[in-house]
Amino acid sequence: MCTYQTTNVPVSGSGKGASGWFPVTAATVYFDHPVDAPAGHTLNIDFRNPDRGAAARVAVELDPAGARELAEAILAMLSAAPPALLTEA
Amino acid sequence: MIGDLRAETIHFPGAGGDLVEAYLAQPLDARPTGGVIVVHHMPGYDEGTLEMTRRFAAHGYLAVCPNLYTREAPGADPDDAAAAARAAGGVPDERFIGDAAGAAAYLRALPAANGRVGSIGYCSGGRQSFLAACTVDLDAAVDCYGAFVVGTPPEGFPLQVGPLVDRVGDLRCPLLGLFGGEDSYPSPADTAVLEQALTAAGKPFEFHTYDDAGHAFFATDRPSYRPMAAKDGWQRIWAFFGRHLSA
């Protein structure tokens, strides 16, 4: 089914899309039908900059197990990083 | 009978008078015929849905597929537009109803129109096709595995996808439902509830559930594709529209 569930997360950083690098201001996370991945449903993330139009987007469609591992790896990496570097960012 | 067709991008006035982009496919044969509104799924106004739109024209119908994400991302690639629309909260039901009414009016004004118009939708579009059948002047509607016609969406779902089963008394036309027996949304229990509600309301309907299929069995570009269910489903669609969209 189309799950409709969507989480929008404000972020700041950069992403590399079809036209090169651009400032990323939002991430949209959802578990739903992929556009391209060969699966019924995937964990999808769109890194976007709405002010630059719909095409300012870096998209990933991930299998649920891999997505969970990725999320845990992100949290582990942030936990392991020297605190001073996190605040400097 | 597979006929020659012409397909092109057009615009028609939808909800609020906004010009809505749409894909129109029509038979070259100018005999009066019925119209079909093809409602795309959440991934958007994509190649697979436009291919289905051409298929209706090849089978003799005037077919129009509105780009329901026109406002969020005019001119964008369909997948980028779908992402933008999702981030903005999706398509509100009231806006969809206005767009569907605009599409029906556009089809009825075409030179080859016989005045009869139906709708068909897949997945979220299946729910919207049911919604159109309750709110727009249609002659037939097909719901292909639309979730949340019945059943309460889990917590956190946007309000605009609330259940529609309590609107069953408003259904204006015969309904064909095509479902997968292995689907969870809608589950066979959900479709049984809808069936009971339609029966209680005295509404004409016809449901078929394919035991060896799950969700999205019509989608030829997805692993969920089930050729035998899809083949039978298409036959049911031709028979249903043949009965209800002929002048």
User: Are the Cβ atoms of B73 and A26 closer than 8 angstroms?
Assistant: no
Q: Which chain A residue has the Cα nearest residue B86?
A: A6
Distance from CA of B189 to the nearest CA of A (A): 15
Q: Measured between alpha carbons, how far is B46 from B77 in angstroms, rounded to an integer?
A: 9
Q: Which residues are CB-neighbours of B44 under 8 A, at least 6 positions away?
A: B67, B68, B69, B78, B79, B81, B82, B85
User: Are the Cβ atoms of A5 and B186 closer than 8 angstroms?
Assistant: no
Report pLDDT digits (tens) over B14-57.
Answer: 999 999 999 999 999 879 999 999 999 988 899 999 999 999 99
pLDDT at residue B1, as a whole number: 64
Q: Measured between alpha carbons, how far is B10 from B27 in angstroms, rounded to an integer?
A: 16
Is the predicted pLDDT of residue B179 greater than 60, yes or no?
yes
> What would the two tokens of residue B189 be?
């229990």
pLDDT at residue B159, as a whole number: 44
Q: Measured between alpha carbons, how far is B236 from B71 in angstroms, rounded to an integer?
A: 34
B75 or B233, greater pLDDT: B233
Total number of domains constituting chain B: 1
Is the predicted pLDDT of residue B235 greater than 70, yes or no?
yes
Q: Which positions in chain A touch B183 (Cβ < 8 Å)?
A: 1
Which residue segment(s) compose the domain that B236 sits in? Answer: 5-244
Is the predicted pLDDT of residue B158 greater than 60, yes or no?
no
Among B144-153, B159-168, B178-187, the least confident range? B159-168
**CATH number for the domain that contains residue B116:** 3.40.50.1820
Locus of tokens 């009066």:
B32
pLDDT at residue A1, as a whole number: 61
Q: Which positions in chain B touch A4 (Cβ < 8 Å)?
A: 42, 90, 124, 153, 157-158, 161
Q: Is the ipTM of this complex over 0.85?
A: no
Catalytic, B183? Answer yes
Closest among B80, B25, B81 to B51, alpha carbons compared: B25
Residue ranges of A 35-64 with Cβ closer than 8 A to chain B = 35, 38-40, 46, 48, 50, 53-55, 57, 59
Q: Which of B86, B154, B223 sits opposite A28 (nearest CB)?
A: B86
Query: Do the strands B140-144 and B205-210 form a parallel or antiparallel pair, or are they unpaired?
Result: unpaired
> What would the two tokens of residue B133 be?
């059948």
Catalytic, B123? Answer yes
Phi and psi angles of residue B149, each rounded to the nearest 5 degrees, phi first:
-70, -35
Q: Is A30 helix (H, G, I), strand (E, B) or coil?
A: strand
The pLDDT of A25-33, averaged and rounded, is: 94
User: Are the Cβ atoms of A46 and B156 closer than 8 angstroms?
Assistant: no
Q: Which of B123, B134, B144, B173 is catalytic?
A: B123
Is the predicted pLDDT of residue B175 greater than 80, yes or no?
yes
DSSP string over chain B: ----EEEEEEEEE-GGG-EEEEEEEEESS-S-EEEEEEEPBTTBS-HHHHHHHHHHHHTT-EEEEE-TTTTTSTT--HHHHHHHHHHTT---HHHHHHHHHHHHHHHHTSTTEEEEEEEEEETHHHHHHHHHHHHS--SEEEEES-TTSSSPPPTT--GGG---GGGGGG--S-EEEEEETT-STT-HHHHHHHHHHHHHHT--EEEEEETT--TTTT-TTSTT--HHHHHHHHHHHHHHHHHHS--
User: Are the Cβ atoms of B46 and A35 closer than 8 angstroms?
Assistant: yes
